[in-house]
Structure 1
């Protein structure tokens, strides 16, 4: 029996009502001027494209402009901004005057729109000039004017969408984001972070199973899923009933129940698999065993000419236009037309924007995998030959490199890879540039010396790779390439060239933990090579880098001499980039000397000079240290503004995951936590491929305090487990883990475990580097707080032995806190407000080790956190109120403190703190507006005593017997006795059943 399937949009949308409802709701919000984004995830073939097609048709029917783009599987570097170029292409051809005007006033869009022609030159009329800045020590660089022009691209995309959306709603659909290049990911992140009141909806899809732990898309998801404007829709495989309904819908006519059941089972809920099984058109028992076999067996139904065309398209890695197919296949026009008509008729190919592509990527993968080696080489060679003859445009060299590599034409591939790397850098895509350079290194030895590009050698490629790895968020690879560079130095290499290589290694080592000694050795070798020479660009960069490394090593006097000498050399030879780098170090030294005004003036000058010279990394470093200057003095508002500015620049230049791009993102998030500007939370996983797992862990750790403070126990525990392997590589991750691990344990009543967290991290930090001594003040203060709570809990239970153990732990920790506060080395000359506040909090907590805490000390802690740390101050207010009530102090003041703490906790959705405040207020008979002060009235006939009800209420909240006992200040055994009586009175056999009966009878509300 032959089954005739109805494929694609020709069948009803089955079992996707909820997902479709959420997408339509997002579009309705966008129509109202509430811009948003939806990320649709699911396995390959699960129906993402079908769902987005339905949304696009719905939006179009309501007058919206739908712009669609798709990423391609070009692993070797990718084509920067490809999905956006495809999506925005119709704007350049639209005859609507509003759209035309929006495009016309944004010339930067010419980089993306095909009708804009080749990429416009820089304002100076040139693309590339020799690299004379010395910042990268590479054979070429982009003019600063070109860099600054490129910065306008992101704003141009956002601007044109915003302007068009003011005229009519816009839906931007980006499919297959798992194949997106890094520049496209950065642009998407930029857009989603700036969705405000536009009538704009951005929808992206990606394969869930392809976004593995080491996939570059993970870096974007870490950030985007937390944005309040972003909704995540997970498209799951069909259930059994849904799969059967889908199979029945596929068949355009009667089909036996046996075939429906068999196809539904074999498809495992995957719609595409089910489609292909039905489309195979064979008897049930003869169906192929695997999806690839199903796809290929279906192709056997095509004519030889159609199969030839399909195989040819599979090697393109892109959609293919008719003229290209005619040339590569060698078929005449009539044969090609018939072959294409047949492939389209059988739903193997589809036509998109006048070109042919596979209906589904899985189909392309299966066909390409089935090609014989010789076929692949010939097809790729034919594509490469055609690309060589076509006019150059965006992505031209990346495509040529791809097909040349696949056809083993390494002589042509090498220069194409280098040109593709240049283009990727111009477009702010360092990750793509790194892939191209790495491929060039892989084939370097296989290309005869006479055929290699002039002026390029392996040493330069290694330095390029080190630079691009560092700027795309892979510091470990940057170090590895830097070490390979110095190993590649041969006798007779000029001193200045060798100094550049050693300086590059020193620079990447500077930004890694545990490599300071190696960085000093490397920069000293570079200095030995140029110290006796005249001022030069290289010598200025060596001095600037040496100054930064010596500052990190605490050798401030030597650092200052090197920085001043670097400035003098740089000015003598016109090396503005090196001058800016040295000024950053001088600014940091001024901050450490307690001269913030001088420091800020130098850092602002450094930023200007770095931008003028095109030294974008140096500019980011200047911005980062400028923000540090404000943050260290507790001036959070200006610090956050500066961090935000730096983050935007990093996004626009493709440096989001560079060391300073990451640091500013992490610090900005930390300040949002402290100041009470809390973003929405969502689950996350650490990214890796394309972004170092160490840097990803650093970013993830910045979210951990939010998870704990909002009571997301499962999420917090998951984070803590994921972050532990990264402590040594990034001690800041250990600091956050220790603090949040202790806080989580305290909220759960596990005080001994909280102290264990504190001890473990303090021991790790001090064994790693004593320079982290001051960072242990907060950890120790939390430990003292836990010890006081542990002691109080034990005293209420009458367990004096445990109470003494808690007191001893608290006294040991307060000794450490006092020592760390007195001997720790702050970044500025004196302790900042944050350190002083935590010292005050530790002293307040230790006063409660053996009895009620001193209210005056807690009042001092509240005042100490009044520099902008909203959440931490609210916790201190809660403790202050407890101390006042416990010592029969000012009840009115206690009520004010509880109300103020509750307002903060309720506004931030800090559930554990909110509940703790309410509990204290309930016991003290303090009313909180909007919160029921007493339990709801109980029925007249009530078999439970007050104590039994109190126990059952806490059991209903999920408390264990131990936790119930601690809250009610009774023993665990007594709790068990009360529960036994409750179950007997209610006729229940289990705890859960007793709770259910109590709710049913109105005994609990």
Structure 2
């Protein structure tokens, strides 16, 4: 009997019922307008592709557009956006008018799909050299839009098509994805909303090791509500047995079935390969590589020679390329390929030949002799040099030249590949190519190096690409190395740009400002006496921004004014606009607000005219800051919204300023009471610094806490902690929101600890963050006041004394922050004054009875537009009024606080307001009045907490629901119930409720029957 396994699609799908059901359910939801994504993981050969094929057939049968792309293991550098180019490529020539129009209306797609849009990019996929070693140099604009325009174009394309018909986008082998592909996928998944779109991406679980670049991205993606995970486990023994039986063409002995099932360990591909290799029922090979190679031993020498040639290519190979590299005659090559295809080792795909499974390719490639491998790589490189192949030509040439150790050919190819990657908006791939060029630089003879390239240029390029791909520390390292390459005879302009590159890379990293001052000082020293030029104008503009950051305002103003003059003289509008922003910020510091805003508006207009979008976004950021500092919330929100729209238009949504605009906008939405229904932070693209994305998380955290979503809030709090030093604003958010979280959970000691930890950290880090101590101190004081009150109720004088002492210490720190802090606008703004008023009122509660006048002032101060914080103060104000016997006024404040809490779904505040109203017997509009407490003629054995738990159990709540309502853990609820049942002599929950009703310990609500469980 000859056992030749059939392709997986040739047999019924074994097991995988649950996984396929989840995938189909995800597509069905997408059909209804609930966009989603599935991350399908599993070991190599476990059946991911087969499962995706079933899903694609299902979606196609329902009229969906199915787009499929695969990542390839091209190792170093990679081909930017390869799976997306493969999946979306057919759309460039689609006959469907909706699809055609969606492609045609987005010129940025030309970077990925050259046929999509006639234009310059479509004719620059391959840039020929004019001499043996010359590398064309394309001047880079002062502001690069980067990969972000392309991201928005792809999202818009899929959204438009999805409005026409459902779309299924399948991306396979994500573990081989290059950085640009990962960035684009992350961007798309973060923007899934109401499109009729399902994205499914598969990856090998065992390949995503701890240091794999995909690992961190997966951690971020799984937090998105639209993303689900489906893990494909090995088949269970019964399913594996059924699979092996279905796989064979004829009956198998029980011994063979048992052996294959045991050795394959439930992996369908392993089982298929093991079965194919045991034709004569001989002992099976031990290792997987041996299994795979043993199967190939049955092929002819010519077939094995062809397989070795294809394994070196690492991708689908054309017939002509194989004929050249394998060095076989036409007839011999045809027979060898036919044999490999018939034995299911190769498949024909898009006119080329490739391995049916990547493990086969890896096994064959790994079995090559060193010399054999080098010769074949050299043959591919020679063919690529002779026959231009369009997109990715230089990256392929560089790869094969590196593997064949032909560094002389590899070096210019790497530089051309980096240039192409930059044009495609893939700075991460460009960075890797430049890094490879640096690695082999010394191995290439000086005479063979490109004429217009030296190590200084490579280091400067590496610094630039590291900065644009979100790796600031590497950007600094390369910039420092570039400075180290400067010599006495270095061209002056190059030296200036090198020092300025270092200053810019240092300027935006926390704790590096002193080094930035030194670096820009070196650049300025070189041009201080020079005539006005664009280089000098940019140095002056950068210098002005750095000097302002260290409070050398007068020098910063002089430098900025000179930059404006130079920029106007030489026509550098970008440098002029950058300097105007610094001047506007300095005017704001000096209290000249109208002048500041006029300069910032002018800077934004000039930057837009100069096509410098980053400078334009910076201008809008500072204009928004000016409005925000003065409590003009509406104008600030409008300005940030304009900036957000502009960032989206220019493809800079994920840039540093694009993120800052969204972060500030979200914070103001929190203050103004316009809370989004779900997270709008989005998942960051992998190329974006995690420090920047932490800003968005920090802006979202207060809303999560205020809504009582304590589980997610705790998770976000932990995620922010590693970013405190790199981005101190996250420490402010984590300290404030973390203290409030602990306060609502009743852990007042933890609330104080979190707030003080943030205050101490910021004080030690930079005195410029001293003002943050006002808000953080107010949060800590609220917990201290609660501790003092609890101590007084218990009659615990030592606890009260400790709370009073701590409260005095904290209010002293708050007052010190007010006295020594330096507000951006020169004087304490509305937000600072409001938090100070709240801190003073709360401190009074810690040392004694609450003061209604202090709370009235706090309510008034938050009236500038901070809706939620004002509602919190109104609740506290009502409690102070009740303490002095003014229930009428207290009722008004409680009603206002309750209305805000209800509208915002701020559940902890709402429940606190209702609890105070219940205790004070105050009716709240729209809230049913609770029945009066029952008369008890016997001693009540229950504590207030135990009664609260039992009351909710009587209403049919589960332990988890009771815990969520009372802000305690499910385990604590169980402990309270156990104590209640012990005190009442009950054996079940329902019996405890019944006994409590009978003894008058609980009042039965009208129409409410005893819970039966």
Q: For residues 56-99 of structure 1, what are the alpha-carbon distances to aligned partners after superposition, in whole Å with 9 as ceiling and x for unaligned?
A: 11111112221112222334333223222211222233334444
Q: 1:463 aligns with which of 445, 460, 465?
A: 460
Deviation at 1:784, TM superposition (A): 0.5
| Correspondence 1:140-151 to 2 at 5 A | 140-142=138-140
Q: For residues 623-657 of structure 1, what are the alpha-carbon distances to aligned partners after superposition, in whole Å with 9 as ceiling and x for unaligned?
A: 43334334434455554565566567667877666
- Structure 1 pair 516/977, CA: closer, same or farther in 2 (3 Å)? closer
The residue number in structure 2 matching 1:897 is 896
- Structure 1 pair 364/616, CA: closer, same or farther in 2 (3 Å)? farther
Please state if 1:95 is matched with 2:95: yes
Please state if 1:501 is matched with 2:474: no
Please state if 1:402 is matched with 2:430: no
Aligned residues: 980
Q: 1:853 aligns with which of 828, 850, 854?
A: 850
Deviation at 1:832, TM superposition (A): 3.1
- Structure 1 pair 159/816, CA: closer, same or farther in 2 (3 Å)? closer
CA contact (8 A) 1:109 1:157 kept: yes
Q: CA separation in 2, counterparts of 1:284 and 1:814?
A: 84
Which range moved further: 475-484 or 893-902? 893-902
Higher RCO structure, 1 or 2 (CA under 8 Å, sep 6+)? 1
The residue number in structure 1 matching 2:1005 is none
| Correspondence 1:47-126 to 2 at 5 A | 47-104=47-104, 106=106, 108-113=108-113, 115=115, 120-121=120-121
Please state if 1:361 is matched with 2:358: yes
Please state if 1:660 is matched with 2:663: no
Q: CA separation in 1, counterparts of 2:245 and 2:857?
A: 71
The residue number in structure 2 matching 1:629 is 626
Q: CA separation in 1, counterparts of 2:932 and 2:317?
A: 71
Deviation at 1:240, TM superposition (A): 3.7
Please state if 1:319 is matched with 2:316: yes
2:845 counterpart SS class: coil
Q: 2:230 aligns with which of 216, 231, 234?
A: 234
Deviation at 1:752, TM superposition (A): 1.4
Deviation at 1:900, TM superposition (A): 1.7
The residue number in structure 2 matching 1:416 is 413
Q: For residues 173-193 of structure 1, what are the alpha-carbon distances to aligned partners after superposition, in whole Å with 9 as ceiling and x for unaligned?
A: 223334334444444455455
Deviation at 1:282, TM superposition (A): 7.0
Report the aligned-residue RMSD.
Answer: 4.5
CA contact (8 A) 2:221 2:683 kept: no
- Structure 1 pair 753/148, CA: closer, same or farther in 2 (3 Å)? closer
Which range moved further: 374-383 or 463-472? 374-383
Which range moved further: 583-592 or 672-681? 672-681
Q: CA separation in 2, counterparts of 1:924 and 1:128?
A: 84
Q: CA separation in 2, counterparts of 1:959 and 1:28?
A: 31
Q: CA separation in 2, counterparts of 1:6 and 1:997?
A: 69
The residue number in structure 1 matching 2:1002 is none
Q: CA separation in 2, counterparts of 1:864 and 1:666?
A: 24
- Structure 1 pair 838/283, CA: closer, same or farther in 2 (3 Å)? farther
- Structure 1 pair 894/77, CA: closer, same or farther in 2 (3 Å)? same
Which range moved further: 484-493 or 644-653? 644-653
Please state if 1:251 is matched with 2:224: no
Which range moved further: 844-853 or 673-682? 673-682
Q: 1:372 aligns with which of 351, 364, 369?
A: 369
Q: CA separation in 2, counterparts of 1:605 and 1:740?
A: 37
Deviation at 1:386, TM superposition (A): 1.9
- Structure 1 pair 389/902, CA: closer, same or farther in 2 (3 Å)? same
Q: CA separation in 1, counterparts of 2:267 and 2:912?
A: 47
- Structure 1 pair 676/303, CA: closer, same or farther in 2 (3 Å)? farther
The residue number in structure 2 matching 1:27 is 27
1:357 counterpart SS class: strand
The residue number in structure 2 matching 1:132 is none
Q: CA separation in 2, counterparts of 1:925 and 1:271?
A: 69
Deviation at 1:302, TM superposition (A): 3.4
Which range moved further: 275-284 or 596-605? 275-284
Q: CA separation in 1, counterparts of 2:66 and 2:212?
A: 29
Please state if 1:745 is matched with 2:753: no
CA contact (8 A) 1:902 1:914 kept: yes
Q: CA separation in 1, counterparts of 2:765 and 2:820?
A: 17
Deviation at 1:859, TM superposition (A): 4.5
Q: For residues 392-427 of structure 1, what are the alpha-carbon distances to aligned partners after superposition, in whole Å with 9 as ceiling and x for unaligned?
A: 522222222122212211111111111121122222
Q: 1:678 aligns with which of 652, 676, 679?
A: 676
Please state if 1:732 is matched with 2:726: no
Q: For residues 115-169 of structure 1, what are the alpha-carbon distances to aligned partners after superposition, in whole Å with 9 as ceiling and x for unaligned?
A: 459973499999999xxxxxxxx96434589x67987655554454444444433
The residue number in structure 1 matching 2:814 is 817
1:235 counterpart SS class: strand
Which range moved further: 301-310 or 784-793? 301-310
CA contact (8 A) 2:415 2:433 kept: yes
- Structure 1 pair 256/754, CA: closer, same or farther in 2 (3 Å)? farther
Q: For residues 910-947 of structure 1, what are the alpha-carbon distances to aligned partners after superposition, in whole Å with 9 as ceiling and x for unaligned?
A: 55445545544554566778987659999xxx999765
- Structure 1 pair 962/692, CA: closer, same or farther in 2 (3 Å)? closer
Mark the runs of 5 or more structure 1 residues left unpaired by the alignment: 130-137
2:443 counterpart SS class: coil
Q: CA separation in 2, counterparts of 1:566 and 1:757?
A: 44
Mark the runs of 5 or more structure 2 residues left unpaired by the alignment: 130-135, 998-1008
Deviation at 1:805, TM superposition (A): 1.0
Please state if 1:385 is matched with 2:368: no
Please state if 1:985 is matched with 2:981: no
Q: CA separation in 2, counterparts of 1:993 and 1:834?
A: 53
CA contact (8 A) 2:590 2:825 kept: yes
TM-score normalised by L of structure 1: 0.86
The residue number in structure 2 matching 1:133 is none
CA contact (8 A) 2:91 2:99 kept: yes
1:445 counterpart SS class: helix
Which of the two has higher C-alpha Rg?
2
The residue number in structure 2 matching 1:797 is 794
Q: CA separation in 2, counterparts of 1:6 and 1:837?
A: 74
Please state if 1:304 is matched with 2:290: no
Q: CA separation in 2, counterparts of 1:875 and 1:277?
A: 68
CA contact (8 A) 2:146 2:427 kept: no
Q: 1:473 aligns with which of 470, 474, 477?
A: 470
- Structure 1 pair 565/794, CA: closer, same or farther in 2 (3 Å)? same
- Structure 1 pair 718/165, CA: closer, same or farther in 2 (3 Å)? closer
Q: CA separation in 2, counterparts of 1:13 and 1:79?
A: 34
- Structure 1 pair 981/679, CA: closer, same or farther in 2 (3 Å)? closer
| Correspondence 1:567-716 to 2 at 5 A | 567-613=564-610, 615-636=612-633, 639=636, 643=640, 659-674=656-671, 675-678=673-676, 680=678, 692=689, 694-695=691-692, 697-698=694-695, 700-711=697-708, 713=710, 715-716=712-713
| Correspondence 1:923-942 to 2 at 5 A | 923-924=919-920
Q: For residues 28-49 of structure 1, what are the alpha-carbon distances to aligned partners after superposition, in whole Å with 9 as ceiling and x for unaligned?
A: 3443445444444445444433
Q: For residues 366-413 of structure 1, what are the alpha-carbon distances to aligned partners after superposition, in whole Å with 9 as ceiling and x for unaligned?
A: 333333322322222222222222335222222221222122111111
Q: For residues 497-556 of structure 1, what are the alpha-carbon distances to aligned partners after superposition, in whole Å with 9 as ceiling and x for unaligned?
A: 322222211111111111111111111122122212222222222211110110000011
CA contact (8 A) 1:226 1:680 kept: no
Which range moved further: 256-265 or 886-895? 256-265
CA contact (8 A) 1:793 1:966 kept: no
| Correspondence 1:501-520 to 2 at 5 A | 501-520=498-517
Q: For residues 788-846 of structure 1, what are the alpha-carbon distances to aligned partners after superposition, in whole Å with 9 as ceiling and x for unaligned?
A: 11212222333221122112112211121122123311222233333233222222322
- Structure 1 pair 477/108, CA: closer, same or farther in 2 (3 Å)? closer
Q: CA separation in 2, counterparts of 1:276 and 1:760?
A: 59
